[in-house]
Every structure is written in C-alpha cells, then in structure tokens.
Amino acid sequence: MRGASRPTPQTRRTVLRAATAGAAVAAAVPLLPTGAAAADATTDTRTDTRTGVPTGDAGDATLQAAFAEAAERYGVPPHVLLGVSYLASRWDAHGGAASVSGGYGPMHLTDAATALAASGSSAGHHADTTEDPRGDAARPLASRSRAATRAVAAGATAVAAVELPAALRTLDRAAALTGLSPAELRASSAANVAGGAALLAETQRSLGQPLSDDPADWYGAVAGYPATDSQRAAEVFADEVYAVINAGERRTTDEGQRVVLEPLAVTPRTGTARALGLPEPARDPDVEAPPSVSCEWLPAPYQEFGDGDYGNHDKANRPESQQVDYIVVHDTEATWQTTLELVQDPEYVSWHYSLRSSDGHIAQHLATRDVGWHAGNWYVNAKSIGLEHEGFLTDPDAWYTEAMYRASAKLVRYLARKYDIPLDRHHILGHDQVQGTTTAGIPGMHTDPGPYWDWVHYFDLLGAPLRPTGGRRSGLVTIAPDYDRHTPEYTACVPEQPDAACAPHGSSAVRLHTAPAHDAPLVRDVGTHPDGDGESGTGVNDVGARATAGMRFAVADRRGDWTAIWYLGQRAWFHDPADAPTALPAEGWVVTGKRGATTIPVYGRAYPEAAAYPEGIPVQTVSPLVYEIPADQRYSLGLRTPSEYYWAVTFDPTNHQVVRGEEYFQIQLGHRIGFVRAADVRVRWAG
C-alpha cells in the first residue's frame, strides 16, 4: 500500500500467522479464473446438470459426449462417471501410456502385466550407491548395493507374477464386460470411458444395488472402483469422488478436449459400501495423518549392524530438539511394492511416508519426530519430513494421479499445521530443490519429482494457491506457468537416447536463457555441470537452467515479453508474455550484499561456526559453494534460522546433540535453495 510503512523482517513463525490471516481474507474474495479456467470462462459453457453435457458452444466436446453415451448405455449417473474419472486421471488420456500403477486412459483401467513388461523394473531412486542420502560427512553411509540388488529382483518377480491382484487388472474385466479388445481400451478414450462405466455398473449390481439415476446411491460402487485392499482406502476414494461432484470441475484435457462437471449437491448413502466386505484393520496408534486419508503404519527398521554401523534412520525428538522447517516431495522411481520392500530394509535408507498412485493410500514408516535419510543433505534431513510418491520423473506419462495428489495435499496440510510450517515453496520443497552440502556434492543431487509434477495444482489442493501478491512492476515474481498449456521440450527421458525428445507434456518449469530470445544459450550452472563452462541442457534431469512453479525470484530486468531474474549470479531470462504469463507479480523480502562487499558467499547448509561446537563434537567444515554471487544482486528470502548441526553418529540416541550458532538466511539461489550468513547480507523489502 502506497504511503504505508513497510513491515520489518520477522521470524518465519510470525510470517506464517500473517500469511494464514491473508489466506483467510483471500478465500472470502471471489477470484477470477486463470489459465484453462479463464479460457472456459470466456465461452458459453452452459451444461445440462442431469447429463453433464455442455449445451452451449463449449468447444470440442467429443470426450464429454463419450461420457454421456457410456453413462446412458450402462445406467451410470453421468456425474458419478465423470467424478470417478476426474479422481483417477483428471480426464486425461496420456497418449495411451500407462500410469506407474499400470492404469490406462481417463478411467485408469489397470493392466499391470502389460505396463510392467513394457517398462521393466526399478530399484528406486536411492539405489545409486554413489550417493549419500544421509548427506553427513561425519557419518557417510556404507554401500547399499545389496538392498538395490534385492529391489531389482523384487521388481522382476512382480513382472513375472502369474496372478496379479484385482486392483492391477481391471482392464481385463472391462474387456469382458464390453466386448472391446484390451488394445482398444488402452488406446481409445471413448472405449476406455465405456469400460469404466461397465465396471461401475457391474460393481453396483454385485452390491445388490439398483442402477439408480441418483448419484447418492452409487457410493459403494465408487468405493469399489479402484479395487483397493482395505475398506478405509475404498471409502476415502469414494469420499474424494463425491467431493469433486459437489464442487464441480472443468478443464481442457491433454487431448484438447473440454470437459465440464457441473457442481451437484449430493449426500451419498455411505452405508452401501459395507457390502464390499473389505478388511477393516484399526488404524495403528502410531499413525500421524488426518482421519480423511487412508494410512497404515509400516515401520522402517532401526537396526545396529556392529562396528558403529546402523540403519536406516536416526532417532530424534523433534520439535523439542529441532524445528521441522521442511516437507520434501519425492517420487519413488519404483513401483509400490518395491518401494515398501526397500524402506523396510535396514541396509537401505528411509523416509517418513509413501503414497500409492492408484488410490492415494499412504504408508507411514517413521515417526515425524525422527530423522529420515532421504534428502542427501544432513541439514535438510534433520529439519524435514520426507514424502515419497509412487512415480517416475523421466516418464511424463507414468502419471501422478489425482487421488495421490489429493491424499498428499491433505497429509501436507496436516503436517504443516502440526509443525507450524508455512505452505510455500521455501518450505514445501521438491527433492530437486535440495542443495548439495558442498561443491563436490552438487552434481550428484537428485532431480525428482521433476518438471512434470504439477505444483500449481498441488498448491491449489493445499489451500494455498499461487496468486499475485504485488503490482505489475513489482520487484519479485512467482513462477507459475499454465501447466496444461505450457509444454517445453525436454530430452533424455530414455537414458540410452540422451538427445531424443520426451513425449510432449505439460510442465511446471520455465526455461532460462542468457538473453531475451528463444535461441539464446541457456544460463550456466557450474555446480551441476562442473566440467567445461557449466553449460546447461534440456535434459529432463538437468535443473541448471530451470525455474519451477511456486519458486520466487527477484526481478533483474524486463524487456517486452521477457522477464529476467537473478539466478546463480546471472541474469536469467524466461518468456513471460502478457497474453500467456508464466509468472505472477510478487513482493517480499530479499537479501543483497553488505555495502562494500564484492560477493555474497553462499552455502549448501547452515552449519554453526567453529566456536559453537562443544568439546567432544568435531567441528563440521563450512565452505562456500562454487557459485559467485555479486553483492549487488538480490535473492528472495525464504526463512531465517539459527545455524544447526545434529550430531547423530551413534546407534544410541542418548548421545545425539544439536549444536547451534550464528544466524543464516535461506534464499532461492537457482533451481535449488542456498544459505547465506546473516552477517554477510542486508535484508530489503522488494515491493
């Protein structure tokens, strides 16, 4: 506000309270639609609330008509069919490619035998024995090669299995019910929708329920649709479908199809799900999750091997010992079964939660007070909770389902409330944002969940949507491309073909150039590319010239349809046209160098100074990263924190200690975060 006094820098706890109050105000104000929704809002999309089919000029409605036809043919209410499909796939076809759990098409009909045979097996993204997921030089992990070998064998066994569970072979049932071939059900969206409708109708009849026109009567059939293995998981899936029906949805699919589900007030008859007769294990008292999700307790082992070695996590007492500042989003790079086998192996590593693609079911492995070995940076591990999502970042169509996104968002909201964590991209990190602890470790840091994770949609589900917070010429921007329409080319999705283009797909990331032109070279990253001049590329795992949705950067320049940000010591330009913006104006705190300084030293961890260490705990070296940041540049401030080192190198946790020292600031350095000493910088308001 012009003329008002600027706020003073605050601790992140105070900032959170202010942000929460702001969100409450924003929630009370109607917002104009953006992106695809904005396009829909400019067109007459009147819809028959009984059939869900548009009655006005709603663009290409072929898929919408397929839903209406299948609903009528199989006696399924259109809202039910559309709601189930939205939760499974957001109505996308994914080019006929399978999800990580073997699902095909808008209805996520599963044919895991075909999908697994085509993709092979994986040992998980921590199976590279050259990395150290613990990220602590005081106790580097021993080789985990045996665990990785066992994981590969487990994946191969799953592919070769003769009898897969019902949840992984619903496509065969749909083929028998419709008379359509499995190939057609995999490749044709209309056929796929018909197959899903046939499955719903079959389940409804098997439960002794009529093929009613009232969506409220179909709760049991909806709960049975994912063929999940527990009553609670089935009912959670149904609850989410009915939440979609009540709220309504609309979007343009990956095939360019306009699909609309008008909101319909429905109170489902939940008792119809009892006839599914699925197991109903009581929730384990150790589970830390909201009641609205399905979550089991599947503990990771805390085991001593002798000779000072142990696995696969550390006991702690957070938040009494240390604040939990981060939630780290990973993908598994493995199937569900392999993921669970790995986290239960004491010779492997650990994380707090795994989330299943098919229905959003969650398994918790560590108490959130304990420290997992997942991020590759001990400072971040000691202050974070790790969530692994079933998926593969290099395969744009091994897709993350809506059911998993929604379950993850509910879990993150719960954890954020429990630990007072702000819902922003300074605190809700992708694994690809976690910095190497030293320059030598930067090239080996992970890149998941990758450019195909839909951060804008995820933050919508978190109840913290990415919105403008500044004026048109404000000093900060929040990256926010329209995921569905923003399809930059990536390469190297197939490792054996590094120059081959990945399948076209929506992306959360913008590409950064050295000048405001598409043919200008990409910005350099001398950390991730230490050989040569740091030249970045378009590889799906190359984060050197990439900024992802939700990340906030200080503006360095503007020129026509291009915006430049300060990034790894450089001006980095991205295309940001007024008619299709890829960023939102923002305001907030930035750091810049002290007067008289030439550069700002940046670190990969916020460790204490030598004088802070008590006798008996070796001083941990703190060395600046390779990046040279001129002192007159500005970088978005994420949080302020005392430097901390968690000394945990013994199996007996009574010997663990937390060392604290001088204050640091976290900044958005490039694609990854960095840390600067408070003594080295000035904090300014960028309005």
Q: Which residue would you say has higher pLDDT here, 149 or 388?
A: 388
* Torsion sign (Cα): 448, 304, 440, 669: positive
Residues 6+ apart with CB under 8 A from 489: 501, 502, 504, 538
Q: Label residue 130 by pLDDT band (50, 70, 90).
A: low
CATH code at position 174: 1.10.530.10
pLDDT in tens, 486-525: 999 999 998 889 999 998 899 999 999 999 999 999 999 9
Q: Is residue 383 included in any domain, yes or no?
A: no
Contacts 24+ apart (CB under 8 A), 160-167: 164/112, 164/113, 165/227, 165/229, 166/227, 167/101, 167/110, 167/226, 167/227, 167/228, 167/229, 167/358, 167/359
Q: Which residue would you say has higher pLDDT here, 503 or 73?
A: 73
Q: Give me the amino acid identity at 638.
A: G
Number of domains in the chain: 1
Per-residue pLDDT, 101:
84
Q: Is residue 103 included in any domain, yes or no?
A: yes
pLDDT higher than threshold 70 for residue 626: yes
Q: Label residue 335 by pLDDT band (50, 70, 90).
A: confident
Q: Is residue 574 included in any domain, yes or no?
A: no
- Which helix or strand (DSSP H or E) is residue 333 part of? none
Torsion angle, alpha carbons of 524, 444, 676, 326, to 10? 120
**Selection from 519, 584, 513 nearest residue 544 by Cα:** 513
Per-residue pLDDT, 54:
37
Gap between the Cα atoms of 287 and 298, Å rounded: 9
**Alpha carbon distances (Å) from 529 to 150, 440, 534, 545:** 32, 11, 5, 11
Q: Which residue would you say has higher pLDDT here, 123 or 151?
A: 123
What 3-state DSSP class applies to 664?
strand
Q: What average pLDDT does range 242-258 have in this prediction?
A: 95
Per-residue pLDDT, 589:
97
Place of tokens 């909770």: 385
Q: Give me the amino acid identity at 659.
A: V
**Selection from 357, 566, 581, 563 nearest residue 466 by Cα:** 581
List beta partners, residue 509: 548
Q: Is residue 175 included in any domain, yes or no?
A: yes
Q: What average pLDDT does range 266-291 have in this prediction?
A: 97
Q: Is residue 226 included in any domain, yes or no?
A: yes
Q: Is residue 374 included in any domain, yes or no?
A: no
Gap between the Cα atoms of 635 and 600, Å rounded: 11
Q: How far is CA 571 from the centre of its chain?
A: 28
pLDDT higher than threshold 60 for residue 7: no
8 A C-beta contact, residue 219 and residue 203: no
Neighbouring CB atoms inside 10 A of 386's CB total 27
Gap between the Cα atoms of 226 and 222, Å rounded: 8
* Torsion sign (Cα): 465, 466, 472, 474: positive
pLDDT higher than threshold 80 for residue 157: no
What 3-state DSSP class applies to 228?
coil
List beta partners, residue 453: none
Angle at 394 between CA 536 and CA 515, to 5 degrees: 25
Q: Is residue 676 included in any domain, yes or no?
A: no
List beta partners, residue 584: 478
pLDDT in tens, 19-59: 333 333 233 222 222 233 333 333 333 344 333 333 333 33
Range of the domain at 257: 36-111+169-276
Q: What is the mean pLDDT of the chain?
A: 88
8 A C-beta contact, residue 182 and residue 175: yes
Gap between the Cα atoms of 110 and 172, Å rounded: 8
In the chain, the percentage of residues whose pLDDT exceeds 70 is: 86
8 A C-beta contact, residue 249 and residue 264: no
Neighbouring CB atoms inside 10 A of 121's CB total 18
Q: What average pLDDT does range 142-154 have in this prediction?
A: 54
Q: Is residue 516 included in any domain, yes or no?
A: no
Per-residue pLDDT, 154:
52
Q: Is the pTM for the entire model greater than 0.95?
A: no
Per-residue pLDDT, 37:
33
The 3-class SS string of 594-610 reads CCCCCEECCECCCCCCH
pLDDT in tens, 365-377: 999 999 999 999 9
Per-residue pLDDT, 495:
83
Exposed / middle / buried, residue 236 (Cβ in 10 Å: 0-12, 13-18, 19+) = buried
pLDDT in tens, 582-593: 999 999 999 999
pLDDT higher than threshold 90 for residue 140: no
pLDDT in tens, 434-489: 999 999 999 999 999 999 999 999 999 999 999 999 998 899 999 999 999 999 99
- HSE of 684, CA atoms in CB hemisphere, 13 A: 16
Per-residue pLDDT, 28:
29
Q: What average pLDDT does range 91-112 have in this prediction?
A: 92
Gap between the Cα atoms of 411 and 403, Å rounded: 12
pLDDT in tens, 535-580: 999 999 999 999 999 999 999 999 999 999 999 999 999 999 999 9
Gap between the Cα atoms of 245 and 593, Å rounded: 52
Gap between the Cα atoms of 302 and 371, Å rounded: 11
**Selection from 538, 579, 580, 574 nearest residue 556 by Cα:** 574
In the chain, the percentage of residues whose pLDDT exceeds 90 is: 76
